[in-house]
Amino acid sequence: MADAVRDNAARSRYELEVSGQTAFLDYRQSGKLRVLTHAEVPQALRGAGIAARLTAGALELVRAEGGKVLPRCPYVVEFIERNPQFNDLLAAP
């Protein structure tokens, strides 16, 4: 159904391709801090859990790099609230 989430550093976004369409999560980077700004899933893919898969995959990539996140996208904020196993990735305010 889909490949793994990948970091498209040239476009400053995480991507997940599903059925020939790309869902993405934009970020700004400052050192090891990723400010997660906007998630978007193509209309045809909405309601299938793609945003959750994209967000979890992006957070796992940040974890693997030893980074931290500052979620500014409302979806990502809610996702982390529902999935406290990612709380350790939150940058101190």
Q: The CATH number of the domain where 38 resides is what?
A: 3.40.630.30
User: What is the DSSP pairing of strand 33-40 with strand 68-71?
Assistant: parallel
pLDDT at 92: 84
pLDDT at 48: 93
Q: Is residue 30 part of a domain?
A: yes
Q: Is residue 15 part of a domain?
A: yes
Look at the chain and report how many structural domains it folds into. 1
The dihedral sign for the CA sequence 11, 70, 33, 67 = negative
Q: Is residue 47 part of a domain?
A: yes
pLDDT at 2: 43
Residue type, 8: N
Residue 85 belongs to what domain range?
6-89
Q: Is residue 1 part of a domain?
A: no
Please state the three-class secondary structure of the chain as a single string.
CECCCEEEHHHCEEEEEECCEEEEEEEEEECCEEEEEEEECCHHHCCCCHHHHHHHHHHHHHHHCCCEEEECCHHHHHHHHHCHHHHHHECCC
| Entry pTM | 0.93
> In the beta sheet, which residues pair with residue 77?
none
Q: What is the pLDDT along the chain (93 residues), one digit of tens a residue?
A: 346 999 999 999 999 999 999 999 999 999 999 999 999 999 999 999 999 999 999 999 999 999 999 999 999 999 999 999 999 999 986
